Structure 1
Amino acid sequence: MVALVELVVVGQISWLKLLMVVFVLLRSRLVVLILVFVSLKFFRRFAMVTPFREGKWREILV
């Protein structure tokens, strides 16, 4: 990321390209966050169905 900023300062990459790169990074991060959120909801539902309650899962994870 710092290298990209340095390239922009030097003038080899236009600001538009930098903005596009940042947008793509943010979008991919947003997709990852959404996937994690959905998987967590699914995991909670799965934990409710199985005999393992949230407390048991915490004991196993900790």
Structure 2
Amino acid sequence: MALSTTQRVAALRTLMAEADNEYIAAPLWEFHPLFRLAVLSERRRRHLLNNDPEPIGDNEYT
């Protein structure tokens, strides 16, 4: 049985919430494109975006 969109989003949020900071702070290109928005959201939630050593000025990709 396939997961609904709501179930997929909930599962992804749970996985991201349980991941350690080192994993979430890894370079964005190391994540599958489907996971990148969730990673960015988790970075904002944990305030990890404030420590970007090379800010590029584009909030969508930092």
TM tier, smaller: 0.3 to 0.5
**Which of the two has higher C-alpha Rg?**
1
With the length of structure 1 as denominator, give the TM-score of the two structures: 0.33
With the length of structure 2 as denominator, give the TM-score of the two structures: 0.33
User: Which one scores higher on RCO, CA 8 angstroms, separation ≥ 6?
Assistant: 2
Answer 1 or 2: which has greater helix percent: 1
